[in-house]
Amino acid sequence: MSAADAIALVVGGAEAEAEFPDIAVLVADSDPQSQAALRDSLRGLVGQVFTAHSGAAAAAILKSEHVDVVVLDAQLRMPDAFTLTELAKSRGVAAVIILLSPDTPTDRGAAQLAGCDTFLIRPVNEVILREVVAEYVDEF
Mean predicted confidence (pLDDT) in 5-15: 44
The whole-angstrom separation of Cα 122 and Cα 99 is 6
Decide if 39 is inside a domain: yes
- 8 neighbors 61 (Cβ within 8 angstroms): no
Taken in order 42, 124, 101, 138, is the CA torsion positive or negative? positive
Q: With cut-offs at 50, 70 and 90, classify the pLDDT of residue 8.
A: very low
Q: Higher confidence at residue 6 or residue 62? A: 62
The whole-angstrom separation of Cα 18 and Cα 24 is 11
Q: Tell me, what's the pLDDT at 76?
A: 93
**pTM above 0.85?**
yes
Decide if 140 is inside a domain: no
Q: What is the pLDDT of residues 111-138, one digit of tens each?
A: 788 889 999 999 999 999 999 999 999 8
- 26 neighbors 58 (Cβ within 8 angstroms): yes
* Domain count across the chain: 1
Decide if 53 is inside a domain: yes
Decide if 95 is inside a domain: yes
- Name the residue range of residue 69's domain: 3-135
Q: What is the pLDDT of residues 68-116, one digit of tens each?
A: 999 999 999 999 999 999 999 999 999 999 998 887 766 778 878 888 9
Residue 110, domain CATH: 3.40.50.2300
Decide if 22 is inside a domain: yes
- 65 neighbors 24 (Cβ within 8 angstroms): yes
Q: What is the pLDDT of residues 11-29, one digit of tens each?
A: 444 445 899 999 999 999 9
